Every structure is written in structure tokens, then in C-alpha cells.
Amino acid sequence: MAEKKCPECGSNNLKYDYARGELVCMKCGLVIDENIIDEGPEWRAFDSDQREKRARTGAPIKFMKPNKGLSTEIDQYNKDIRGVKISAKTRAQMQRLRKWHKRASISTSIERNLAIALTELSRVASALNLPSNVREAAALMYRKAVEKGLIRGRLIESVVAAVIYTICRQYGIPRTLDEIAEVSGISKKEIGRTYRFLKVDLGINMPLTNPVHYIPRFASELKLSGEVQEKAREILEKAIQKGLISGRGPTGVAAAAVYIAGVMMGERRTQKEVADVAGVTEVTIRNRYRELKDKLGLDVPT
DNA sequence: AAGACGAAAGTGGTTGA
DNA sequence: TCAACAACTTTCGTCTT
């Protein structure tokens, strides 16, 4: 949590006050987060058996029901407890009370939602090794979505997944839908749906995924040299200019480019290896490979 | 024996009526 | 809402190294 910054003064000198349950900025005194929970264990476990016995919590519980059905409401009937009508003056007062009570509940429900969502967000972000600036951006986008009331009727987890997907694309740190689906436990389909929904309602205009962004990841997973990456990028640039990638899955194109570059630079990897790290099949690589080779007139050593 | 290649059939998602 | 469609996958047989 050390990477968090104070939204007011930008200082990152934040301190948890566990006695009060608050996260406080030590510079300007702003309470950034309240009702936090000390998640750390106050015991040590020396083996997995002890860990299981001492842990108070099991698998993560989903508090999906906002306020767990325990919210208080002030009723509409302007009668006192004996059923006698109350005076006009009191009635007006009750009206105001009702109004503010409702507003207060809504605002706490947003906060509760955010608290859960941010935990999930940080969990997924860690699993995907996302840098903290990306997490911040994702948190901000989620906050906007909540404030616009876009979460209603949707699982928090699926919105979190969609937000992360969106932010990753904006930052050019491509994580495939598959990877996000894997760690978030939300289906690809659902993430896609939620993503589209977010896109429309938050007015995000998304540049279409550039396959070039996938090259470094694929290349490093295949332990290919920098020259191969350079070559692959070069091939892709040409392919983009010739419009060979529109309508094609970006991962497939990137994978084929990496494969070709590898062969051309004498660092051959099998189609299967490339296919595995790219999350496509050999056949797709072959198809893209053929297209690229034919249309670009590359001479690939056999 | 393993990899590369390509044909054919199947799958899930998008689009347009 | 349904059918047509494109992209991709699965499966399988053949060829090459």
C-alpha cells in the first residue's frame, strides 16, 4: 500500500491508524480511507497446518448484496407511533430527514462498493503484474463508473475486470481477454460485454489494439533477441500499411510476425511454441504467416 | 520422429434484415 | 430474433527434414 498517494496534496507519506481504522495523510491530515480492516494476521504460522488452523478467514467471501439488506428507512406515513397524524411542521422536518437519510445511505453504499472493488482491483492487478500508475488509472475509472451508477445489476468483479482491460489497452500494456478472464474468474464473454457497456457510457474512444504491443512480450517469453523484435516490428509496420491486419485477431498477426522474424534472423522457434505463448493455434499462425509472406514478398529461408 | 503444411468440419460471436 | 458470415479452432492426413 506504500504506492498510494494522497489525492489532496500528492504526498505519499500515508499512515494507517489501525486503532481508528483510518488511512491518513501525514502531510495534510486528509483521511483518505476509513473503515479499513487490518488484514494482517496477528499470529505467525510455521507450517501449512498451523496456517489453516489459525486463519480466521477462508476463501474470499462475496458481499455482493449492498448493505446486506439491513438498511434503515424512514417510512412514508406521516403518523406518530400511536397512529396520530403529526403536525405540518414536524412533517416537513421528517421530509428533510428522509431526504438526507437517503442521500447518506447512497453515499455509504458507493463507498462500500468502492472498498470491495478496490480490493479486487488490486488483487487482479497484482496477478497481472500491472504497474501502479495503471492501477491508479483503473481505480479512477472504476470510481467514475460507480458515480454514474453503471454498476447496478452487474457484478463488481466483472466491472473491475472490464476496467482493467480497458485501461491496459489505453496504456498499451496488452493483456489478452483470456489472461484477465483467468485471474478474475469472469468469463471472457462477460468481460467483453461489460467492456462495451463501459465504453459507450463513459464515452471512451478506444484505439484499436495494435499488434506491435504484443511483440516484446511474445519475444521475451520465447527468449528471442532484440534484433528479432525489431524485425518483427518492421514486418508489422509494413503489414499495417498494406491493411493486412484489419479484421484479424491482433494476437495472431503479432505471433506470425514474431515467428517470421525468428526464422529470418536464424532464431527459429517452432510454430507450436509461438502459438502457445500467443494463445492461438498453429493453424492461425500459418494462415497469417502465408498472408504476410505473400503480400509482403518476404523471402523466408526454408 | 518431429515439425510444417493445408483441407475440412466445427465453434462462438457479430451483423443486418 | 434469426440466419448469414468471418475469424479462429480442432482434427487429421500428408509431406519434409
| CATH code (residue A269) | 1.10.472.10
* A158 domain residue, yes or no: yes
User: What's the CA A48/C1' B14 distance, rounded, in angstroms?
Assistant: 49
DSSP labels, A144-180? HHHHTT--TTS-HHHHHHHHHHHHHHHTT----HHHH
Nucleotides on chain C that have an atom closer than 7 A to a protein CB are 6-11, 16-17
- Assigned domain for A47 exists: no
Between CA A34 and CA A17 the distance in angstroms is 9
In a domain, A161, yes or no: yes
User: How high is the pLDDT of residue A60?
Assistant: 38
**pLDDT on residue A62:** 36
Is the CA virtual torsion A206, A208, A213, A217 positive or negative? positive
> Same domain for A194 and A215?
no
Question: pLDDT value at position A83?
Answer: 67
How many structural domains is chain A composed of? 3
**Among A201, A226, A253, where does a domain finish?**
A201
Across all strands, nucleotide nearest A275 (CA–C1'): C9
- pLDDT of amino acid A23: 66
Domain final residue pick, A178, A201, A224: A201
What does each of the 302 residues of chain A score in pLDDT, given as a tens digit? 435 666 666 666 666 655 555 666 666 666 666 554 444 444 444 444 444 444 444 433 333 334 434 455 566 666 666 667 777 777 788 888 877 777 666 666 777 778 888 888 888 888 888 888 888 888 888 888 887 777 777 888 888 888 888 888 877 777 777 788 878 888 878 888 888 877 777 776 666 677 888 888 888 888 888 899 899 889 888 888 887 776 788 888 889 999 999 888 888 889 898 988 888 899 999 988 888 888 777 666 66
Residue A253 lies in a domain: yes
Q: Which residue has its C-alpha nearest to nucleotide B12's C1'?
A: A189
Residue A66 belongs to some domain of the structure: no
* A160, A220: one domain: no
Domain that includes residue A158, residue range: 108-201
Whether A58 maps to a domain, the answer reads: no
Q: Are A258 and A216 in contact (CB under 8 A)?
A: no
DSSP three-state, residue A209? coil
Within a domain: A48: no
Judgement on whether residues A150 and A218 belong to the same structural domain of the protein? no
Is residue A4 situated within a structural domain? yes
Is the Cβ–Cβ distance between A129 and A168 less than 8 Å?
Answer: no
Tell me, yes or no, whether A152 and A231 share the same domain: no
